[in-house]
Every structure is written in C-alpha cells, then in structure tokens.
Structure 1
Amino acid sequence: MRHLAIISAFCLLALPAQAFDLSFEWGPLKLCTSGKPNTVASPAFRLKNVPDGTKFIRFKLVDRNVRSYNHGGGTVAWKGGAQVPAGAFKYKSPCPPNGAHSYEWTATAMSKNNGGKLGEAKARRNYPE
C-alpha cells in the first residue's frame, strides 16, 4: 500500500503544469484603417492558469506586420480571477492602412511591478477581422 501511495504522489508531481493562457476580443473599437491609431481603452482579457505568486500583469500589443510600431500597453495589479476588465489601461489602437494586420497581445505575469517574471501568455487576432 505504501508503494502505491509513493507511486501516486510521483505521478502527480510528474504532470505538466497548465500553461498560462490569454484570450481577448477587440470589443467596441471604432473602425480605424488610416494608419493613424487612436488612444483607446484596453479590451477585456480572459486569463487561465495565472502563475502562483503573480502580483502584476504587464500587457503589450505588437503589430506582427509592422513590429517597429509601438502600440504600448499597460500594467495592472493582479488580485486573482479570470478576467482583466476592459478599460484597465490605455493603448494605441490597431489601425492598419493597407488591409488587415495580425496583432498579438503579450501578458507577462510578474511578482513585482517592475520585474520578477513568472510566466508569459500570448494571443493573436487580425484587425480588422
């Protein structure tokens, strides 16, 4: 019986941790295709498996078609839950001038406001969709 308990405990430890996961919807953005982004409120983000010890989450938006353009992002205090509400910070909206671009939000879980990276999650969507 003792061997079975040891084997069971070892199997539980060997299971991979669930990956930190991020998803979002653009929400009620005004259509922008001029190449001149607006400053807008952040979308709502859904999070799964946020790493233990997370106190802050830093969000950053990248246009995968024009990586050099800084859309910005923001850092929010993390108090648990599965969602960061819309409007938690301001950023420069997606606004591609020549058709849809692929955009990627990165969420970095941190133990301190300015560091202590615990994990990272990414989510992509095209804009306009």
Structure 2
Amino acid sequence: MRTILTSIALLTLASAAHADMKVSFDWGPTKKCLDSKSPPMKLSGVPEGTVKLDIRMRDQNVPGFMHGGGKVAYEGQKSLPYGAFRYKGPCPPSGKHKYRFTVKALDGKGKVIGTAQADKMFP
C-alpha cells in the first residue's frame, strides 16, 4: 500500500510540474499566405530534462487541416525567433481564423515531459 501511495504522490508532483509550462506567440513578421517561417515564441516553465521542443500548429476553424511544425533543440532558451522551424503558415480563405500552437517538451529518449498550447487569431 505504501508503494502505491508513493507512486501516486510522485505522479501528482510530476503532473503539477508540467502544468507550469507555458508558450505564447506573436505573429510578428508572419506574412499572409503560407509563410513557411514560424512566428516568434516565448517559453516559460519548460521542464528540467527537456532536450527538444516538438511544435505543431492547427487551424481551429478547419481542424482537419494540419499546418505541420518542427522540432527545435532546447538549451534553456526563453524564446524562439521568427523562422526557428518550418511549417505551413496561416492562410485563412476568408476572414480570420483561430490557430493553435501545441508545444511538447521531449526528454533525451523522446518522451513527452511537458505540454503547452497557445491560440491566436490571424490576420
């Protein structure tokens, strides 16, 4: 019983540590349409042990259209510059669309140890 309680406590602490990971972004110099350079991003609370960030974007108005993303080496940086990875940039056919970036923190074995999301309208 003690082992089970210890395991539950450790899982709870690990989950709480991941809850602090945050990402935000600004479209910055992103051009309409399908600019292949990623927008600038800010990161905080990235879990210790992260070696790569796996970043993907999805159009929330057309969820079936994946814009792809990329992986970026993580060395403790608090931001990613415009063009840190390549993807299919935003290109709403009419009006504005809401886009979501999902950032996954990966350890040296490729295991997800943290996740954060950020949404923004374009244009």
Structure 1 length as normaliser, TM-score? 0.77
Query: Which consecutive segments of 4 or more residues in structure 1 shift more than 6 A?
Result: none
Q: Percent identity?
A: 43
Deviations 1:21-64 (A, max 9, x none): 000001112233xxxxx251111110001001000000000000
Partner of 2:103: 107
Match of 1:5 in 2: none
SS in structure 1 opposite 2:75? coil
State the distance in 2 between where 1:81 and 1:88 align. Answer: 12
The runs of 5 or more residues in structure 1 that have no matched partner are 1-12, 33-37
Q: Secondary structure of 2:120's partner? A: strand
Query: How far, CA to CA, are the matches of 2:120 and 2:93 in structure 1?
Result: 17
2:113 aligned residue: 118
Take 1:88 and 1:49, find their aligned partners in 2: how far apart are those partners?
A: 19
The Cα offsets for residues 89-125 of structure 1, whole Å up to 9 and x where unpaired, read as 1111111112111100000000037x21001000000
2:49 pairs with 53, 71, 79, which one?
53
Distance 1:111 1:30 in 2: 33
Partner of 2:20: 19
Are 1:90 and 2:91 an aligned pair? no
Q: 2:10 aligns to what?
A: none
Over the residues paired in the alignment, what is the CA RMSD in angstroms? 1.7
Aligned residues, how many?
108
TM-score calculated relative to the size of structure 2: 0.81
Structure 2 contact 49–108 (Cα < 8 Å) conserved: no
